[in-house]
Structure 1
Amino acid sequence: MHQIKLLRLPISYFLFSIFFLFSNNASANFDFNTNCQKAYQNIFELKLNAARQLIAAEKKIHPNNSIVPFLENYVDYYYLLTTESKSEFERLEPNKEVRLDQISDDDKSSPYYLYAQAQINIQWALMRGRFGSYLTVAREINRANSLLQENTKKFPGFHLNGIGLGLINAVLGVLPDGFLKSTLSTFGIKGNLQAGLNMLDKLAENLPKSAYEPFYEETVFTYAYVLSDVAKSPSAYAKTMKYMARIPDTSLLKCYLQAYVCARNGHTDVAITTLANRPTGAVYQPFPYLDYLMGIAKLNKLDYSAEASFEKFLQTNKGVNNIKDAYLHLAWIALLKGENNNLSALIAKTKASGFIFAERDKQALNEANSPTPNKELLKARLLFDGGYFAKGLDVLSDSKAEDYASAKDKTEYHYRLGRLNDALGKDDMALMNYQNAITVGKSLKYYFAAKSAVQIGIIYEAKKNTQKAKSSFNLAISMKGHEQENSIENEAKQGLRRIGG
């Protein structure tokens, strides 16, 4: 996630060169030379074949340069990120120990000695987590954390330690109760979301003014992920756009993360434009997920041409994630277009195809096994996700709870109105809607009532009404046996921590 700006920023490059010259006095075996810098730049534009060629050339010329296995691991990480192939993960995973062995035999006086080992552990933990191998994930995160803590003591001026430590703190700070959290607790690692955010924010702000400027991209990409997915911060979009403005548009990785954050945070038109204008060509690593993401963005504005994007994803994807969710979205398009025969076939494919490693696929399977959604409620849901709040309200404006036959649909009606009014700043209306959702749906297996309680807590938290916020968060925690129980309970607990509850 970093890009060496050799021509565009000569002063920064000069400082960077001095830094590496200084750090390599004891040994040439962590040599981030021009060849490695070019490979590094190609990796973070997702030009992985070009990076492989440069790394192979460096390995031939300098077989003992431990920057080589460090860069090779980045290539594997981004290759696996773009393919999401479990079989490829299993093929490449043995490379981890080979690389760590080479690096561990190298110059212990270099700040890269511990840092490179930590990064390799983090990358494999992040990728392994996509396939559910949580015991090994816990060990790798513990190992990386220990290495980075030790490196910080040995090299307090080596700011790059903050990238991994910021990520670990943030992710562990919001980890829901479960096997992974309890395992990490036995290692004595707890994490702190705000501490992690502070580390990454400080780095993003200050790296451009330092000799570490070439690592700016990695910091920003890590920070964008944490803001959007981990912290679910309302500032995720603004900060992502601000910090990514410096990164060239030739980076396909920039396109991916920028579009992802936009789509996740209700800036759908920006996401669609970003994906439509993404860099293309044989030099870039194939990335089927971008078609899936385009499908999500288009459907969230009720553009049914999303169908072609989902179909392209399913045709080109060789990975294990998002398959069920893609079929579910195709089923929704069929429903909204009135193609009932196609709807049944696509619901069947949602159940039969793909895997349930990813949360979105687990939820897709749950929804495929649930009653067919009401069309108007589905439209309101999609428009809310897309950030089209006024349009979502318009969809529901001519209906009332009594128009819906099932308790599920009545609860969802109140919940959808609550989310839309909430997003438009209509707090009193939102509170009433959420309360209605709780009253009707608190005994159902659906998530609407528990999530409504969390949203009430967030509104009262913003109003500085700590007592009512605490009561609402505790109400959400008290509801059991519903969908998304772990994540909603964790969100409520995070709210209690924020207000000192």
Structure 2
Amino acid sequence: MIKNYRFIVLSALFIFSSTSLFANFDFNANCLKAYKSIFELKLGNARAYISTEKKQHPKNAIIPLLENYVDYFTIVTSESKADFDRLKGNKSARLDQISDDDKKSPYYLYAQAEINLQWALIRGRFGEFFNAAMEVKKANNLLQENVKKFPDFQLNFKGLGLINAVLGNLPDGALKTALSTFGIKGNLQTGLNMFEKLTDYLPKSSYEPFYDEVVFYYAYVLSDVAHSSSAYAKTMKYTERIADTSLLKSYLQSYVCLKNAHNDEAIQILSKKPEGGVYQPFPYLHYLEGVARLNKLDLNAGVYFNRFLQSNKGVNYVKDANLHLAWISLLKGDKTGYNSLAAKAVNNGYLYTEKDKQAKNEAAAPLPPVDLLKTRLLFDGGYLTKALQVLADRQTSDYTSDKDKAEFNYRLGRVYDGLGKDDQALVAYQASINQGKNLKYYFAANAAVQMGKIYEKKKNAVKAKEAFNTAIAMKNHEYENSIESQAKAGLKRLAN
């Protein structure tokens, strides 16, 4: 991550300590080591450096910010509601510490904004949407004020980039409703532009130590907010210069590979991830490896899902892991095992994430046809030719239920789409819409979104708008908020 550590330490000391104005926000060598450890997920090391700094410079107002980073990544890696409930009380004390410090430093408002924003991101994971909205509003106001006071302080644009991107493409729901109450809006492209500029600028500047954090948020925005076609290429490009000793790098790269059908690469990254007691436990990585291995129909993937469930103390992905284990039983021909594990997917775990909500729905539904399940998994892994081979001799009339007919054409459309066979994809997508538009399943609505994207690529704005509006018009189906936000984002692109 940091190739010339001595130079960066000296540069940082110059930036943060060159005048008396910065004396109480001293990002010194000790704090830089703590910060570097945090973004390698070596949280024990970070705590030790922070403890040393407390003894040497107890009034350094960077300390509460660093402590908040540690709490943030403790909860991100554990997904634990108990950790969240235990640690969230620290927020107000840290803000109190900072509020008594040097108001003439660019870190005065920035540090307060960062703490608010970090807790907003965490609260959203546990359904505390109103409090999260209040914290986003507070962070946004603090950063906007800081830009006026210190327009050349580049770190302002990290938080503002995240706020703009997320708010600019937020699906309808409790958080969006709460934010609209405060009149807060964002712009996805503005946020993306801020991140793009920062990732290019930081390595050539004295702000270089903050590069990993910017890439962490930028990768999230590209993959999960913008659903960008360049998410894989950009994430791999920008993470390349991060040290291989960073577990966070392994997470970012494997996640974006898995999400963008670079499945074998995801497995390779996860199998080589740094390990040892120095790293924060991160059970989610076992879950990711299970997903990646099952995508290539490796039935030994169950080892990784069970490893996740055994080591996990968090509330998320429990239902989805059990559903994947159920699929493995079904692929082995064990319907009794499938039913047992599907029951766990229904009854165990929580419903904070879309993944777990969907897992519960699917586990409660009739058994999926094995050929459609295989096609789905192979498509997710990017094994398009193999996926098409599974459906080569199948046709709509081979399926009895409307659900399976809609899914068959949806899966076929996705595979053709991935192979660049646009005309065949459009025919299959339209068939899925016709068969599934009145069902609760997501196939028809997402088929309409994918149609819109094909027409957009073909520069047929009229047909693209029609498809995106078709997706928006469908209601009361799975993934409704996410699909609708993608369709609305498509309409925004066409309007520009």
TM-score normalized with structure 1 length:
0.97
1:18 lines up with 2:14 in the alignment: yes
* Deviation (angstroms), 1:484: 1.7
Cα separation, 1, equivalents of 2:453 and 2:492:
12
Taking the TM superposition and a 5 Å limit, the aligned residue runs for 1:291-302 are 291-302=286-297
* Deviation (angstroms), 1:28: 2.1
Taking the TM superposition and a 5 Å limit, the aligned residue runs for 1:46-125 are 46-125=41-120
Q: Once structures 1 and 2 are overlaid, which stretch shifts more, 173-182 or 419-428?
A: 173-182
* Deviation (angstroms), 1:114: 0.6
Q: Secondary structure at the match of 1:344?
A: helix
Structure 1 counterpart of 2:153: 158
- Residue number among 354, 357, 362 corresponding to 2:357 in the alignment: 362
* Deviation (angstroms), 1:30: 0.7
* Deviation (angstroms), 1:61: 2.0
Note the alpha carbon deviations across 1:49-88, whole angstroms, 9 max, x for none. 1111111121122211111111000001111111111011
Structure 1 counterpart of 2:391: 396
Q: Secondary structure at the match of 1:499?
A: helix
Cα separation, 1, equivalents of 2:237 and 2:173:
35
1:198 lines up with 2:193 in the alignment: yes
* Deviation (angstroms), 1:110: 0.7
Structure 2 counterpart of 1:473: 468
Taking the TM superposition and a 5 Å limit, the aligned residue runs for 1:334-349 are 334-349=329-344
State whether residues 106 and 153 of structure 2, in contact with CA within 8 Å, keep that contact through their aligned partners in structure 1. Answer: yes
State whether residues 12 and 27 of structure 2, in contact with CA within 8 Å, keep that contact through their aligned partners in structure 1. Answer: no
Q: Secondary structure at the match of 1:26?
A: helix
Note the alpha carbon deviations across 1:194-252, whole angstroms, 9 max, x for none. 11000001100111111111111111111111101110101000001111110010000
1:27/1:422 CA distance change after superposition, 3 Å:
closer
Taking the TM superposition and a 5 Å limit, the aligned residue runs for 1:31-46 are 31-46=26-41
State whether residues 410 and 447 of structure 2, in contact with CA within 8 Å, keep that contact through their aligned partners in structure 1. Answer: yes
- Residue number among 138, 149, 152 corresponding to 1:143 in the alignment: 138
Taking the TM superposition and a 5 Å limit, the aligned residue runs for 1:154-233 are 154-233=149-228
Taking the TM superposition and a 5 Å limit, the aligned residue runs for 1:181-330 are 181-330=176-325
Cα separation, 2, equivalents of 1:229 and 1:490:
12
Note the alpha carbon deviations across 1:152-201, whole angstroms, 9 max, x for none. 11111100111111111000011112332132123221100011000001
State whether residues 36 and 209 of structure 2, in contact with CA within 8 Å, keep that contact through their aligned partners in structure 1. Answer: no
* Deviation (angstroms), 1:27: 4.7
State whether residues 16 and 22 of structure 2, in contact with CA within 8 Å, keep that contact through their aligned partners in structure 1. Answer: no
Q: Secondary structure at the match of 1:343?
A: helix
| Contiguous gaps of at least 5 residues in structure 1 | none
| Contiguous gaps of at least 5 residues in structure 2 | none
Q: Once structures 1 and 2 are overlaid, which stretch shifts more, 491-500 or 163-172?
A: 491-500
Note the alpha carbon deviations across 1:335-392, whole angstroms, 9 max, x for none. 0111122111101111111000111000100111111111000111111111111111
* Deviation (angstroms), 1:402: 1.1
Note the alpha carbon deviations across 1:377-426, whole angstroms, 9 max, x for none. 01111111111111111111111111111111111110001011111111
Taking the TM superposition and a 5 Å limit, the aligned residue runs for 1:485-496 are 485-496=480-491
Cα separation, 1, equivalents of 2:485 and 2:29:
46
Q: Secondary structure at the match of 2:299?
A: coil
Note the alpha carbon deviations across 1:229-279, whole angstroms, 9 max, x for none. 110101000001111110010000111111111111111111111110010
1:384 lines up with 2:369 in the alignment: no
Cα separation, 1, equivalents of 2:201 and 2:25:
25
1:352 lines up with 2:347 in the alignment: yes
Question: In the alignment, residue 448 of structure 1 is paired with which amino acid?
Answer: F
State whether residues 244 and 254 of structure 1, in contact with CA within 8 Å, keep that contact through their aligned partners in structure 2. Answer: yes
Cα separation, 2, equivalents of 1:227 and 1:310:
27
* Deviation (angstroms), 1:446: 1.0
State whether residues 78 and 282 of structure 2, in contact with CA within 8 Å, keep that contact through their aligned partners in structure 1. Answer: yes
Cα separation, 2, equivalents of 1:459 and 1:190:
29
- Taking every aligned residue pair, what percent have the same amino acid on both sides? 62
* Deviation (angstroms), 1:12: 4.0
Question: In the alignment, residue 182 of structure 1 is paired with which amino acid?
Answer: T
TM-score normalized with structure 2 length:
0.98
Cα separation, 2, equivalents of 1:176 and 1:282:
39
Cα separation, 2, equivalents of 1:74 and 1:9:
21
State whether residues 42 and 48 of structure 1, in contact with CA within 8 Å, keep that contact through their aligned partners in structure 2. Answer: yes
Cα separation, 2, equivalents of 1:214 and 1:493:
36
* Deviation (angstroms), 1:8: 2.6
1:8 lines up with 2:13 in the alignment: no
1:49/1:9 CA distance change after superposition, 3 Å:
closer
Cα separation, 1, equivalents of 2:467 and 2:160:
33
* Deviation (angstroms), 1:9: 4.7
Question: In the alignment, residue 439 of structure 2 is paired with which amino acid?
Answer: L
Q: Once structures 1 and 2 are overlaid, which stretch shifts more, 475-484 or 419-428?
A: 475-484
Total equivalences in the alignment: 496
* Deviation (angstroms), 1:26: 2.0
Q: Secondary structure at the match of 2:274?
A: coil
State whether residues 12 and 210 of structure 1, in contact with CA within 8 Å, keep that contact through their aligned partners in structure 2. Answer: no
* Deviation (angstroms), 1:10: 4.2
Q: Secondary structure at the match of 1:20?
A: helix
Cα separation, 2, equivalents of 1:179 and 1:129:
10
